[in-house]
Amino acid sequence: MNIETPPQAATAHGVVERLRTHLNGAIVGQTAFVDRLQLALFADGHILVEGAPGLAKTKAITTLSRAIACDEKRIQFTPDLLPGDLTGTEVYRPEHGTFTFQRGPLFHNLILADEINRAPAKVQSALLEAMAERQITVGGTTYPLPRLFMVMATQNPIEQEGTYPLPEAQLDRFLMHLRIGFPDPAAERTILKIVRGEAMGEAPAPVAAVTEEMIHAARREALQVHVSDALEDYMLHLIFATRSPAGTGAGGSVADKIAWGASPRGTIALDRCTRVHAWMRGADFATPLDVQAVIHDVLRHRLILTFEAEADGITRDGLIDDLIASVPVS
């Protein structure tokens, strides 16, 4: 432990700036994505990322693991992958005449699960189960996963042929569903410079000196952000407005376009992301603006539109905009 570290509260929040500078130094022009990656880390949740190839998804995980000095693992999902390839298997040791458990790639801190929709359901569910339970049971023995355990799964929006789309019900296990777009021309020029520099063997940016313990301290502090009763009501009204078509007042017209609304897990995720969002900007209480800042990423994968709404070209993001517009701030 560093003796010069300032008191707990200051240290925990100082982590945000350190990580942000480190990540934005390596990943250019993707500030929204970088921000949400941090939010997920502090909220102790897993993320599903959708974006074209080559948008620095792999680089984001590598950069993050370098910053925290923790270990990372990339797993490419393919149709021939087996659940045991993720969790690990019991291996026979003839010299001892016994079986020993060989840990699989899930036993790491940061997991990049690339193209999860390329593996069949059994493998997907092994991943999702590990994500939710944070432990793996093989041959009657349970092995806990590391305390810092975060999965970033990717789905490629192009080339859907031959894939196994994740069941909607399972998507719920992701705290957020992020979409990454292309960087702007200025950022892309900077990317060229960075990559050329790396190829010439230039030293990478100094490590952010963030420890795993700092992340845990940050998580504890973020959990203490105050949410008033009125704000809790606001969150509940938003969630309930996605549910019954009978309508809860103003939300009715939005719910008419939704076949299946957000689950209680969605409510929990909204609350947690709202708190962390407030904490990351240095506040000790959350406001409706924090809710509105995170709600798209929290609900995007939790709403199933009706066939008619899909046919009318309504998007989930558009619907969430309508949701915010139709539910009054309490």
Ligand X SMILES: Nc1ncnc2c1ncn2[C@@H]1O[C@H](COP(=O)(O)OP(=O)(O)OP(=O)(O)O)[C@@H](O)[C@H]1O
Q: Which of residues 50-89 bind Mg ion (CB under 5 A)?
A: 58
Whole-number minimum distance, CB 273 to ligand X, in Å? 23
The DSSP call for residue 210 is -
Tell me the closest approach of the beta carbon of residue 193 to ligand X, in angstroms. Answer: 10
Rounded to an integer, what distance in angstroms lies between the CA atom of residue 303 and that of residue 168? 9
Compute the least distance from the CB of residue 291 to ligand X, in Å. 28
**Pairing state between β 98-103 and 88-93:** antiparallel
Binder of ligand X out of 103, 164, 191, 223 (CB under 6 A): 191
Asked if residues 293 and 239 have their Cβ atoms less than 8 Å apart, the reply is no
From CA 39, how far away is CA 133, in angstroms rounded?
Answer: 21
- Please select the residue that binds ligand X; options are 16, 19, 23, 28, rule is CB under 6 A: 28
Give min distance, CB of 62 to Mg ion, in A: 10
Q: Which does 216 bind (CB under 5 to 8 A by kind): Mg ion, ligand X, none?
A: none
Report what 238 binds from Mg ion, ligand X, none; CB cut-off 5-8 Å by kind: none
Q: Pick the closest to residue 132 from 124, 49, 214 (CA basis).
A: 124
Q: Would you say 54 or 264 has its CB closer to ligand X?
A: 54
Cα 43 to chain centroid distance, Å, stands at: 9
Determine if 181 is a binding residue for ligand X (CB under 6 A): no
What is the closest distance, in whole angstroms, from the C-beta atom of residue 205 to ligand X in the complex? 12
80-139 residues in contact with ligand X (CB under 6 A) are: 114
**Could you write out the three-class secondary structure of 153-187?**
EEECCCCCCCCCCCCHHHHCCCCEEEECCCCCHHH
Residues 6+ positions from 157 with CB-CB distance below 8 Å: 50, 51, 52
* Site residues, ligand X (CB under 6 A): 27-30, 53-59, 114, 183, 191, 194-195
